[in-house]
Amino acid sequence: MSDLRELYQEFILDHHKNPRNFGPLEGANRTSEGYNPLCGDRVTIYLLVEGDRISDIGFEGSGCAICTASTSVMSEMLKGKTVAEAEDLFGKFHELVTGPPDEVPCTDGLGKLAVFFGVREFPVRVKCATLAWHTLKAALRDGKTVTTE
Ligand code: ZN
């Protein structure tokens, strides 16, 4: 468990310092802003959706390490995925971060997102970890602002 915890911290710090796909996306056709008042996290998601596929993704914002890292990993994972696959992944990720801390998480198909299982020990951080996903969903749906309350 301590190895995993170390990995989790290293991984999150790495993505926090060097977020992937950071910056506005030129040619984006969907965008949405998210705000988590509990922590002060703000994120804007830019998507280029072609047909039912997310061809490209970018984001901007200022948030805590968990928020930024979660958005960064999400952007990596979702590039090239279909909207249905993205929604499926959101469901799995949500279960991962909100499950009981004493249960072994199911990480099938989550890839790098599995590292966020540590968040379930800190319920106040769940909104930090899921803000990007809620914002993504809003962008896919109608491109409006979302607040996680
Ligand atoms: Zn946060």
Separation of CA 30 and ligand 1 centre (Å)? 24
Sequence spans of domains, the chain: 2-143
Separation of CA 56 and ligand 1 centre (Å)? 25
Is residue 139's pLDDT more than 90? Answer: yes
Separation of CA 50 and ligand 1 centre (Å)? 31
Cα 121 from Cα 14, distance rounded (Å):
21
Confidence of residue 86 (pLDDT cuts 50, 70, 90): very high
CA torsion through residues 98, 135, 12, 127, sign: negative
Judge whether 63 and 42 are in contact, CB under 8 Å: yes
Separation of CA 128 and ligand 1 centre (Å)? 4
Give the pLDDT score at 25. 95
Separation of CA 111 and ligand 1 centre (Å)? 22
Separation of CA 148 and ligand 1 centre (Å)? 11
Separation of CA 125 and ligand 1 centre (Å)? 6
Give the pLDDT score at 5. 72
CA torsion through residues 77, 143, 53, 95, sign: positive
Cα 13 from Cα 123, distance rounded (Å):
20
Strands (DSSP E) found in the chain: 30-36, 41-50, 53-62, 146-147
Among 23, 125, 116, 40, which residue's Cα sits nearest to residue 75?
23
The amino acid at 85: E
Among 145, 12, 119, 139, which residue's Cα sits nearest to residue 78?
139
**CATH number belonging to domain 2-143:** 3.90.1010.10
Give the pLDDT score at 6. 77
Cα 103 from Cα 28, distance rounded (Å):
40
Is residue 29's pLDDT more than 70? Answer: yes
